Chains A and B, each alone.
Chain A
Amino acid sequence: ILNVEQSPQSLHVQEGDSTNFTCSFPSSNFYALHWYRWETAKSPEALFVMTLNGDEKKKGRISATLNTKEGYSYLYIKGSQPEDSATYLCASNSGNTGKLIFGQGTTLQVKP
């Protein structure tokens, strides 16, 4: 069974703060790690797909790193803005099927 865990479960920060979340996943049979942002009443939005150990990806103020040997990924947000408020989900798949196993998410609230 593939277990994906995220921490913290929720986070409240002030506008301008930088923050990071953790996603841990079983390192055996690893294939890919996906990050999504899900705002209320919208579709989950794909942020990154990461496959290589040591990979680092960036999209604006958001970046992510991947360690497949120890089974974790970090998502960083630099200078949080109120519009970053959302639930951030990570998901892993252990094969080429595309079937994603999601963590429970980290809900971020950024106060102006």
Chain B
Amino acid sequence: DTGVSQDPRHKITKRGQNVTFRCDPISEHNRLYWYRQTLGQGPEFLTYFQNEAQLEKSRLLSDRFSAERPKGSFSTLEIQRTEQGDSAMYLCASSSASGGTDTQYFGPGTRLTVL
């Protein structure tokens, strides 16, 4: 069990550029979640997948954000035309089953800085 991994760990970009982050969940986990955390706040839900199906997306998420999990394994989160307000820690988590009581295991996050 290698845990949840995320790549890159840090990303600095200029406003208006597109960025893509990758998350590799624990291998047998079929649920994958994306959260975003800004300074002084707790993580905020963005979206989640059950296998390759995206089941829910936060209403707070603008159309510039898109996430995929094409084969039900790794996932990517893309932000188009980045804005300074997108600067945050982007966290990925996975869990083994479909219940709300299952532990979500988090990766170390990708810290995005938009200049």
Contact = CB atoms under 8 A, between A and B. Distances in A.
Interface in A55-75: none
Number of chain B interface residues as a range: 20 to 34
Nearest to B105: A46
Contacts of A102: 35, 42-44
B98 A98 contact: yes
B101 A31 contact: yes
A103 B98 contact: no
A108 B45 CA distance: 24
A89 B85 CA distance: 23
A100 B105 CA distance: 12
B91 to A, nearest CB: 7
Interface string B26-49: 000001010100001111110010
Given A43-B106, A98-B31, A99-B56, A51 B101 contact: yes
Interface of B is mostly: loop
B105 A101 contact: no
Interface of A: 4, 6, 31-32, 34, 36, 41-46, 49, 51, 89, 91, 93, 95-105
B95 interface: yes
A63 B70 CA distance: 40
Given A43-B105, A46-B106, 8 more contacts: A31-B101, A43-B108, A91-B43, A98-B102, A99-B48, A100-B33, A100-B35, A102-B44
A17 to B, nearest CB: 25
Given A102-B42, A104-B42, A97 B103 contact: no
Contacts of B40: 104
Contacts of A44: 43, 91, 106
Given A34-B103, A41-B108, A49-B103, A98 B44 contact: no
